[in-house]
Chain A
Amino acid sequence: MTKKNQQLSIKCETGNYHTFCPISCVAWLYQKIEDSFFLVIGTKTCGYFLQNALGVMIFAEPRYAMAELEEGDISAQLNDYQELKRLCLQIKKDRRPSVIFWIGTCTTEIIKMDLEGIAQKLENEIQVPLVVARANGLDYAFTQGEDTVLASLVQKYKVKNLNLKKQLKPQENKLILFGSLPNSVVNQLDLELKNQGVNVTGWIPAKHYTELPELVEKTFVCGVNPYLSRTATTLMRRRKCTLISAPFPIGPDGTRLWIEKICSVFNIQPQGLEKRETEIWKSLEEYTNLIYGKSVFFMGDNLLEISLARFLIKCGMIVYEIGIPYLDNRYQNAELLLLEQTCYEKNIMIPQIVEKPDNYNQIERIRALKPDLVITGMAHANPLEARGISTKWSVEFTFAQIHGFSNAKDILELITRPLRRNKEFEVRGWNQFSTKL
C-alpha cells in the first residue's frame, strides 16, 4: 500500500486536548539537579495540580514549593519584589540551595510580573543565583516545561561566565548533551559513546547546578529528547554552539542512528553498532512477536510521540495517528526522516500526524478505527477501557527509562502490558463495562 512518493502530512486541529501543565517538570528536575530549589509562582490551581499529579512525592519534603499568589498580589497591593525576597530568603535559610529556579505561570504572565527583572536585582541581594523559566499553560504543554527551564539555564550561565571565557578558543571537538535523564541512563549513554571513542564533555543539566559544563563557541551539542527545541535554539543562537541533528536515542534503531550521527561529526567510523543493534532486536523478539501487526493510536500529550511511533513501526506495529501537542519540524527533522524511511522499509502507510489535536474528534476516530492500543492521558484511559479499547498511559513514557539500547525493552514492557493482560481476559468475554456507548 505504501508508495515511494507518499508524503508526510501534518494536520492541525483545535488544540482542545488533555495534557499535563508544563510546571510538572519540577517533579523530575528537582530530583535531577540535586542542589536546586524550584519555586512555582502561581495560584492554588497550580498547587492543586502539583499536589495531585505528583502524589506521594509531596510527602518526601521535596525541594519545590509554591509561591501562592493571593488577592493582594494580583491587584498589586503587595510589592512583588519584597514578597519574593521574603520567600527566597526563607528558602535560602531552610534549604541552602545553590540555585533557585522561578517557574512563571499563567497568572504571572497575565498580570505581567517582571520575573526576569526582579530576579536580576534580587540575586545580588540574596547571593543565590536565580533562574527564571516561564513554563506556563498559555504557551506550552507538559514536557515543554523542561525545555523552558533548560533554555533559561543555558542563557543564564552565559552571563555569569562571560568575562572568564572570552579568551578561550572555539572548542570544536567537545560534545555536550542536553536533556534531563536519570543518572543511570546518563551513564549508559556516556558509555555507549565512549565505546566509540567519543568523550562526552558534559550534560545540561548536570547532577549539580555547580557542575554545569562550560559552553564555548562551536561546541557540539546534541539533544536526547524530542521536546527540547527552545534549548537547541538557545544553544545555537545565544551560545553559538553547533547542533548535531539526529534521531533521538529511543529504541535500538534510534539509538544506533544517534550514535552514528555523533560519530560522523567527529570523523569516527563506528564499530560494532550494527551487531549490537541486531542483538538488541533479537532480545526483544518475545515482545515484538506479541505486537506484530497490531495497531496503535497516539492521542498526543508529551512530544515523545514521533520517536515512539517510529520505534513501534520498526517493531512491526501499524500506527493510525500520531497526535502531538507541538511539532518543531526543524529540530525533529532527522526523526521525521527516519519515520518516513521506516514506513517505507516496512511497506506501510505513513501515519497521519495531528498537531494540537482535538480529543473529542480523536475519540470519534478511535471509535471508527478500533485500534488495538491507544496511548493516551489518564483522563481518557478508564473510559476507553470501559468501552473495550486497550490503553496505555502516556505519562509513563516520560517517567520510565526509555533511552539507549538496553532500555528498549522497558518501552516494550510498557506497550505490551495491556496486550499481555488481554490474552488472559479474552476468554472471559467481559469487554464492555460502560453503560453508555
Chain B
Amino acid sequence: MKLAYWMYSGPAHIGTLRIASSFKNVHAIMHGPLGDDYFNVMASMLERKRDFTPITTSVVDRNVLARGSQEKVVNNITRKDKEELPNLIILTPTCTSSILQEDLNNFCYRAALETKSDILLADVNHYRVTELQAADRTLEQIINFYLKKSNKLTQKKTVFPSVNIIGSFNLAFHNQHDISELKQLFSNLDIKINEIIPEGNSVKNLKNLTKAWFNFIPYREIGYSTGTFLKKKYNMPYIDITPIGIIEIAKCIKSIQQILNEMGHLINYDKFIDKQTRFISQSAWFSRSIDCQNLIGKRAVVFGDATHAIGITKILVQELGVDVIWCGTYCKSDKIWFINQLKTINLKIKPIITDDHNLIGNLIAEVTPEAIFGTQMERHVGKRLNIPCGVISAPVHIQNFPLSYRPFLGYEGANQISDLIYNSFTLGMEDHLLEIFGGHDTTNILTNSLSTNSSLEWTEETQKELQKIPGFVRSKIKRNIEKFAIEHNLKKITLEIMYAAKEANS
C-alpha cells in the first residue's frame, strides 16, 4: 500500500478511453462499478465536448459479483450496437473488473456473433501500466486489428510525399492546437497529410495508413508503439523528434528531408528553415534581444511528461541560456530515453524520475529556483513557496484547455513558449523588486476607506462566523449587518441578528 493523494497519470482504463473516444464512431463499454464513469465528466467539462461521450458502463454490482456478468456485458454490447451503430466497440476493463478475472475475451467473442460492429477487448493490465502506457497500447492494438483485418492492404505509396500524424487525441495538453500547427508545417513543406489518428478519424480509414511515405510521432508517450509497429511490420519509416523549440524543429525537418531523399524525392529545406527561424518566427530573434540577456544564468527546474520536460529543457538551456538545475519526469517507463536525452543537452542537469509529488515539492524547496516549469501540481508548490511557475505538461486544469490558438509545437509553438518562459521570469523579478522597495503602496488606502467607525459589539461566535465568509465579500457583509443593527437600535451583534440581517438583505 502506498499513501497518496495526488498522481501524475491516471489509471490504465483512462488511457484506453481516451483513445477509444478520440476515434469517430467508436464506442467504449467500461466494465466497472457505478461512479467509474468519471471520464465522461472530464471529456465534457475539460474539453467542453458538445456531443455525448461515446462511453457507457456495464455496471458491476452485487448481482454481478454473485452471478458473473456475462449476460449483462453481452446485452450491453449488443444494445449499444443497435442504438449507436458504431464501427467498433471496445470493452474496457477497470481495476475492479480485472480482479474479478472473468473471461471478458469470451464475452466479446459471444457478443460479436450478434453485432454488426467489431468488438475488441482492451488488452491492458491495470496494476502494471499507467494511463499513458495504456493509451499507447490501445492505439497499437486497434491499428494492428484493422490492418490485419483488411485483406487488400495496399503497398502502393501516394504519388506525392505524404505523412501520417500519429498522436492526436483528446484530453491531451494543447493537442488540438499542436495538430493544427503540424498541418501548417507539413503544408509549408509541401507534404500531403495522409491520415491523422486517432482524433476525429474513422477506423474505416486505417487501411489507408500504409499509403503514407512515413509516420510522424510528435509525442513520446502516445503513438510510439504504433510507429515502431508500422516500421516493423510494414517497413514504414518514422520520425520521433518532437518539434518543440527552434533547434528541434530544424532537426525534425532535416530528418524529414533525409527520409524523403532516401525515398527518391530530392528536396532541400535549408532555405525554408532559415527563413522561418530568422524572419517568420520571433523566438530566435527574441532570444538574441537585449531583454533576454536578463535570463542568462537564471535557475529553473523542469518537471512533466517526458516529451514536454525534455522539450522545454532544450529551449531553456540551448536557446535562452537558462540554468536548469534538474529536470524530471513521471513517465517512469521511459527512464532510459529520458536520461539519454538529458545527456545530449547538458551533463550537469540532474535527472529525476519519480511519480511522488511530495518528493518533487521537497526538491523544489531545496533548490528554490527563480522559476518552475511543471504541471498543475508544481504550480501549486510554486504558489506556496512564492516561485512563479509556467505550466508545460499534463495533468492540467480547465484553464489549460484554452479557446485561443496556443500550440506548443512548431514555429508558432516556439513563440508561445518564449512568451510563457519570459512572463514567468519577469513576474518573479517584479515581485522581487516590489518586495525590496516595500511593495505597491495601496494597502493603507484600502483599509482606511473600508473601515467602519461603529461602536457595535460582535460576540465571539459571530466573529468566528464572520471569518467563514470569503475574504473578498466579508467587509461588505459586515457593513450590511452593522447597518441592519444600527437601523434596529441594536448594540450587540448575535448570531440571530446576523441571520436576520442576511434575510433582510436578500
Contacts and interface: CB of A to CB of B under 8 A. Distances in A.
Interface string B264-282: 0000000000000000000
A18 B14 CA distance: 16
B41 A44 contact: no
B3 A59 contact: no
Nearest to A86: B1
Interface in B37-96: 37-38, 40-42, 44-45, 48-53, 56-57, 59-62, 65, 76, 83, 94-96
Nearest to A46: B95
Interface residues of B, number: 58
A55 B380 CA distance: 12
B1 A84 contact: yes
B36 interface: yes
A254 interface: no
Contacts of B127: 70-71, 74
Interface of A: 15-16, 18-23, 41, 43-45, 47-53, 55, 58-59, 62, 64-71, 73-74, 78, 83-84, 86-87, 90-91, 106-107, 109-111, 136-142, 183-184, 187-188, 191, 283, 360, 363, 377-383, 386, 405-406, 409, 433-436
Given A47-B4, A51-B5, A406 B502 contact: yes
A434 B384 CA distance: 41
Contacts of A183: 468
13 contacts: A15-B34, A44-B126, A45-B95, A49-B35, A51-B6, A67-B2, A67-B3, A68-B4, A107-B96, A110-B96, A184-B465, A283-B503, A382-B50
Interface of B: 1-7, 10-11, 13-14, 32-38, 40-42, 44-45, 48-53, 56-57, 59-62, 65, 76, 83, 94-96, 99-100, 126-128, 377, 380, 383, 397, 465, 468, 495-496, 499, 502-503, 506
Contacts of A62: 5
A68 B355 CA distance: 13
Nearest to B98: A74
A377 B126 CA distance: 27
B36 A137 contact: yes
Given A55-B397, A138-B60, A377 B41 contact: yes
Nearest to B125: A71
A191 B62 CA distance: 43
A65 B42 contact: no
A58 B95 CA distance: 23
Given A136-B33, A139-B62, A283-B506, A383 B99 contact: no
A66 B45 CA distance: 24
A65 B34 contact: no
B3 A107 contact: no
Nearest to A65: B5
B53 A435 contact: no
Nearest to B80: A360
B49 A383 contact: yes
> Which of B3, B45, B76 has most A Cβ within 10 Å?
B3
Nearest to A410: B506
A36 B80 CA distance: 44
A191 B495 contact: yes
A110 B44 contact: no
A378 B41 contact: yes
B48 A15 contact: no
Contacts of B2: 66-68, 70
B499 A45 contact: no
B41 A379 contact: yes
B506 A379 contact: no
A94 B76 CA distance: 47
A382 B56 contact: no
Contacts of A187: 465, 495, 499
A340 to B, nearest CB: 29
A18 B40 contact: yes
A379 B49 CA distance: 10
Nearest to B13: A45
> Which of A45, A58, A191, A283 has most B Cβ within 10 Å?
A45
Nearest to A110: B99
Contacts of B45: 378, 382
B468 A184 contact: yes
Nearest to B130: A44
B56 A53 contact: no
A398 to B, nearest CB: 14
A381 B36 CA distance: 18
A386 B50 contact: yes
A409 B41 contact: no
B96 A16 contact: no
A406 B35 contact: no
B35 A22 contact: yes
A76 to B, nearest CB: 11
B99 A21 contact: no
B37 A18 contact: yes
Contact of A73 (B1, B3, B49, B57): B1
B56 A19 contact: no
Nearest to A182: B468
A380 B38 contact: no
Nearest to A48: B10
A90 B3 contact: yes
Given A18-B40, A137-B34, A184-B465, 6 more contacts: A43-B11, A44-B95, A49-B38, A142-B35, A377-B41, A406-B502
A421 to B, nearest CB: 16
B52 A45 contact: no
A44 B468 CA distance: 33
A70 B1 CA distance: 6
A138 B61 contact: yes
B278 to A, nearest CB: 41
Contacts of A48: 7, 10-11, 14, 38
A42 B48 CA distance: 29
Contacts of A283: 503, 506
Contacts of B51: 383, 386, 434-436
B44 A383 contact: yes
A183 B397 CA distance: 30
Contacts of A363: 52
A66 to B, nearest CB: 5
